[in-house]
Structure 1
Amino acid sequence: MIRHNFLSNATAARQFIEGVNRLKDPEQFPWPGQPNLSLYDVFVFWHHQSMMLMTPPGQTDRNAAHSGPAFLPWHRYFLIALERFLQQAVDDADFRIPYWDWNADAQLTNPNTSSIWANENLGQFVGGNWRVRLAMNPVTGNLQVVNQQLQRNLGASGRLPTRTQVRTFIRNQVAYDQMPFNSSSASGTRNYLEGWIGAASTHNSVHVWVGGDMQLSSSPNDPVFFLHHCNVDRIWAAWQERHPASSYVPDMDAPDSLQFHRIDDALYNVFDETVTPRQMLDYKTHYEYDTLDDLIGL
């Protein structure tokens, strides 16, 4: 099944909006044992907890799902897990999460005017019935129960990466990652795509550009999180197609300090399912994208 561009496939866009609204409803999709919270809120909790689990303990850089090799396979699994619930919510086993092509919006004179932010699209989640119920306290860093509106601050800081910037590192970065396998790795497509190196600050800069709740560890509170990460995953898929001989690293000979990031380690999970980076490498076993040519067609 195909993951489509949100702005070029009205059916996928409508289903995504309907699906997240239903998953957000504790009456339709309750979080068992957590009053007034929903299965959607589980994903906020899961993402926050992954960022609090430092690997190894005692440092403040690499965690179970960020600033390390597992960043891409963990988020690929995160999307697939949500996708399964969305399929139930919209009663369509063929549904796949669409992506936000922020490279296209970067070409606009004012990216804030992109139709993705229109009231019939993602604009409806601000100031309406959508409520943030779990949020990171920016002072303490703890996750707390709240009842507040979703916050965005489009374009106040950060920037949207250009297609040329993305194409360049897809072409030039042959290795997946390199030691010390954290945000200081001087090369490797994972660190470029995550945004710790390179002028584009790719993934990170988009979070900052959207602003508000997207800048917190509880960033999945904003449904655009999933469209953004779907595009990040699409870029990884394009890199995989361009460099099919490049292997995931590290392997299982790496030290235990790299737990959660070695190829056959169990990815950090809140569901009763064991998934490893190796199992996430072949995206085509789960979906394909409507196009990768805009990223690798040079």
Structure 2
Amino acid sequence: MKLISVLSSLVLGVATLSAALPAADYGQSTTTKGCTKPMIRKDWRTLSQKQKINYLDAVKCLMHTPGKKTGIVSRFEDFLTEHQEKTAMVHFNAVFLPWHRLLLYEMERVLRSECGYRGAIPYWDMKQDVADFLASPVLNGRVSFGGNGLPSPDALPPYNTTAGGAITDGWFAGELIHVGIGNDTSPALRNITRNISQHYASAWLTQKQEDTVLSETDFGEFTLSLEGRLQLDPVKYAEIWGVHAGGHRAVGGDMQNAWSSPSDPLFYLHHANLDRIWATWQAANPEDRQWQMMGPIAPRAPFLGTWPYTPPAGNVTLDYVLDLGELGGDRLNVRVARVMDTSGSMPEDDEDEALLCYLYDQLA
């Protein structure tokens, strides 16, 4: 698979940082029973024009705010490189959903505290656009994420060579990424690329596929179904991408790269929707599912590279510690239990403090 970056001589600007918002505005998780003032994550298409501009401006602000990780140009790329560095450790295992939930939490917090965003991360309910994916309001109009990229002769079927290069419309046209593709975090200069695929949208983003995921009765099968069973056996389960990988491949370009997919701001809307599907599954049987965690620590398949150390044996439990490396520091070395309930409760008799405080406007 080849991705094409279009180099530019534009120089990164530096945005003025917004004043931090009061903590109470974000929501507080202080009791075992739940939090107060939860944020409400909403479908992108339901946001007002003003709310959409506020979100897009905040993301662009991160692209033009100096990074805090060593050697990283922008705050946006702090998050991108953390995903690049952790990809092999947080995919194809039980860590996949809780780790990405933690990453979204931190992105949401930083958007609000450093770039003046006043809402919660929106989600993209892709199944609503499955009939004509390229016509989605997420991808069209001035106040949008933009559509297809420029033609790319290296695009491989089922992608079209009429797209796959740099995006040229929407809020992020012309924006630059300053690290490499894949797991290459060294300095580079490239544009955000995209190659929309109706093929993958029609195959994996339907109501039927989502219902299949939600019909699973234990977390192990649920996360496998959501992330894609191809990881179990690339021959037996060839092209069984699941809603997660199917969404990445439907957007194409940067999004189809397992490591560097957060180069495209659409990454966060897609993963917010996957998190919403998990929250929906939990809410369907909360007594059994709210704290249900099972599955291996080590990846089920080695497709995404090796760990920097030998993966621990055994299964992920509520006591397994997640981390965001240099992005989150010690503050975000948190037990899985702390991110299991978006509304901020903890298991009975657990004296730790929950981290999250948000709900979705509607479940899947």
Does residue 278 in structure 1 map to residue 323 in structure 2? Answer: no
How do residues 76-95 of structure 1 correspond to structure 2 at under 5 angstroms?
76-92=101-117, 95=119
Provide the rounded CA distance (Å) in 1 between the counterparts of 2:174 and 2:241.
Answer: 34
| Superimposed CA distance per residue, residues 124-182 of structure 1 (whole angstroms, 9 cap, x where no aligned partner) | 89232311211325xxx533321111110001652251123212331x211001xxxxx
- CA gap 1:258/1:86 in 2 versus in 1, 3 angstroms: farther
Does residue 167 in structure 1 map to residue 192 in structure 2? Answer: no
Alpha-carbon offset, residue 75 of structure 1: 0.4
Corresponding residue for residue 145 of structure 2? 122
Corresponding residue for residue 224 of structure 2? 191
- CA gap 1:71/1:280 in 2 versus in 1, 3 angstroms: same
1:8 counterpart (28, 43, 46):
46
- Work out which of the two has the higher radius of gyration on C-alpha atoms and give 1 or 2: 2
Preserved CA contact (<8 Å) 2:180 2:187: yes
Q: One-letter code of the match for 1:134?
A: V
SS in 1 for 2:313: helix
Structure 2 stretches lacking a partner, 5+ long: 1-38, 148-165, 231-236, 298-310, 345-356
Does residue 229 in structure 1 map to residue 266 in structure 2? Answer: no
Does residue 19 in structure 1 map to residue 25 in structure 2? Answer: no
Does residue 201 in structure 1 map to residue 242 in structure 2? Answer: yes
SS in 2 for 1:147: strand
Preserved CA contact (<8 Å) 1:13 1:98: no
- CA gap 1:200/1:49 in 2 versus in 1, 3 angstroms: closer
How do residues 1-298 of structure 1 correspond to structure 2 at under 5 angstroms?
1-10=39-48, 11-26=50-65, 29-31=66-68, 33-34=70-71, 37-51=73-87, 63-92=88-117, 95-106=119-130, 108=131, 110-118=132-140, 119-123=142-146, 126-127=167-168, 128-137=173-182, 141-155=183-197, 158-159=200-201, 160-170=204-214, 172-177=215-220, 188-196=221-229, 201-216=242-257, 217-244=259-286, 245-246=288-289, 247-249=292-294, 256-258=312-314, 261-270=316-325, 271-272=328-329, 273=331, 274-285=333-344, 286-292=357-363, 295=364
| Superimposed CA distance per residue, residues 40-95 of structure 1 (whole angstroms, 9 cap, x where no aligned partner) | 101111001112xxxxxxxxxxx321101111100000000010110024435x52
Provide the rounded CA distance (Å) in 2 between the counterparts of 1:208 and 1:46.
Answer: 21
Provide the rounded CA distance (Å) in 1 between the counterparts of 2:115 and 2:75.
Answer: 14
Q: One-letter code of the match for 1:115?
A: P
Alpha-carbon offset, residue 100 of structure 1: 0.5
Q: One-letter code of the match for 1:275?
A: V
Structure 1 stretches lacking a partner, 5+ long: 52-62, 178-187
After TM superposition, the score normalised by the length of structure 1 is 0.80
Corresponding residue for residue 185 of structure 1? none
| Superimposed CA distance per residue, residues 167-218 of structure 1 (whole angstroms, 9 cap, x where no aligned partner) | 2331x211001xxxxxxxxxx1011111226966110111111111112211
SS in 1 for 2:186: strand
After TM superposition, the score normalised by the length of structure 2 is 0.66
Percent identity of equivalent pairs: 27
